Amino acid sequence: MTDMIRGSISAAAAVAISLLAMTVQAKDPSVQIKLGAFAQTTEATVSASRDQGTGTDLSLQSLGHDDSQTNVWASAKWQFNERWQLWGNVSQFDSKGDIDRNFYFEFGDIDVPSDIESVEGTLNVDSHFNADLYIVNLGYELYQSPRVKIDAGLGIHVVDFGLDMDVALTANNLTESLGSESSDVTAPLPNLVLFGQWKLSEKLEVSSTLGWLSLNYDDYDGELTALELDIDYALTPHFGLGAGYRYIDYRVTKTGERLTSSFESLFQGPTLYAVARF
């Protein structure tokens, strides 16, 4: 974990302590917890180059990964003050793929020969991709009416992307390893956030979240666009069900001492969830 990430976590802890102290000022503090399933379609491209060179852009689909998967996610919102709220979200994605196909590419220390198609044998590529997302947003109320509420704030998306790869060549019933490589990026990405809530009736509510970032700092170059749209139906004052749609587009590049790693990932699709309020 980098010093910057430690600093971000320490800052987040300090903010949480300060917010806890402010809770006594809230007339009607409330907590909302959501647990849901995300039927996401994933489009991801990964590259890893040595010594500031150019690595091959590899899509997950070209490496034999499925482009759709259902994953569990969780979020929580704390309205700790009449005008302030703290919101967080955790989600994870893991995918494995394997292909038997001869093609030329470079990925870190793995350099498949350019004449691989003329070699008598089969190239075997096994890979594992992971994307862990941790989000914390602090919002401030800009406008509120009996039916509409709009908040703006700042947030941090901590992204942890990784791709592990093993490559071997099988020929004449013998298998020879061509190398293994791991590429990963862990980065805190601050972003601007806009929240909106529209109460259609006593039981039905529509909410949306929009987050955006384009930033270049230290060894990182990051860009983020996130959009969520949810519809909640309250079965009771404390429990409800909901459905929505998510669109999250990440582009992150880390320039390291040995590797320059780049990840471009688009996660989108419908989601279903249960919500509890207390």
Could you please report the per-residue DSSP string of 69-85?
A: EEEEEEEEEEE-SSSEE
d(Cα 49, Cα 68) in Å, to the nearest integer? 28
- Give the global pTM: 0.83
Residue 249 has pLDDT above 70, yes or no: yes
Question: Could you identify the residue written with the tokens 């008598």?
Answer: 120
* Tokens matching residue 45: 């491209």
pLDDT grade, residue 202 (50/70/90)? very high
The rounded Cα 39 to chain-centroid distance in angstroms is 14
* Tokens matching residue 202: 């006593």
**Residue 256: predicted pLDDT:** 87
Q: Are 221 and 252 in contact (CB under 8 A)?
A: yes
**Residue 20: predicted pLDDT:** 45
Residue 42 has pLDDT above 80, yes or no: yes
pLDDT grade, residue 99 (50/70/90)? very high
Query: Average pLDDT of the chain?
Result: 88
When pLDDT is averaged across residues 186-208 and rounded to a whole number, the result is 93
Q: Are 211 and 226 in contact (CB under 8 A)?
A: yes
- Closest residue by Cα to residue 93 from 41, 52, 135: 41
Q: Are 72 and 94 in contact (CB under 8 A)?
A: no
**Residue 53: predicted pLDDT:** 67
Measuring CA to CA, how many Å separate 123 from each of 2, 57, 166, 199? Answer: 36, 18, 11, 57
d(Cα 239, Cα 232) in Å, to the nearest integer? 10
Residue 14 has pLDDT above 60, yes or no: no
Q: Are 77 and 101 in contact (CB under 8 A)?
A: no
d(Cα 253, Cα 15) in Å, to the nearest integer? 28
d(Cα 130, Cα 32) in Å, to the nearest integer? 28
3-state secondary structure of 202: coil
Domains (ranges, CATH) in the chain?
Answer: 3-93+130-156+185-277 (2.40.128.90)
Continuous segment of H or E residues that includes residue 169: strand 148-171
Residue 172 has pLDDT above 90, yes or no: no
d(Cα 271, Cα 34) in Å, to the nearest integer? 11
- Other beta carbons within 10 angstroms of residue 13's beta carbon come to 10
pLDDT grade, residue 52 (50/70/90)? low
**Residue 119: predicted pLDDT:** 77
Phi first, then psi: give them for residue 179, nearest 5 degrees: 130, 165
d(Cα 1, Cα 51) in Å, to the nearest integer? 22
Residue 8 has pLDDT above 90, yes or no: no
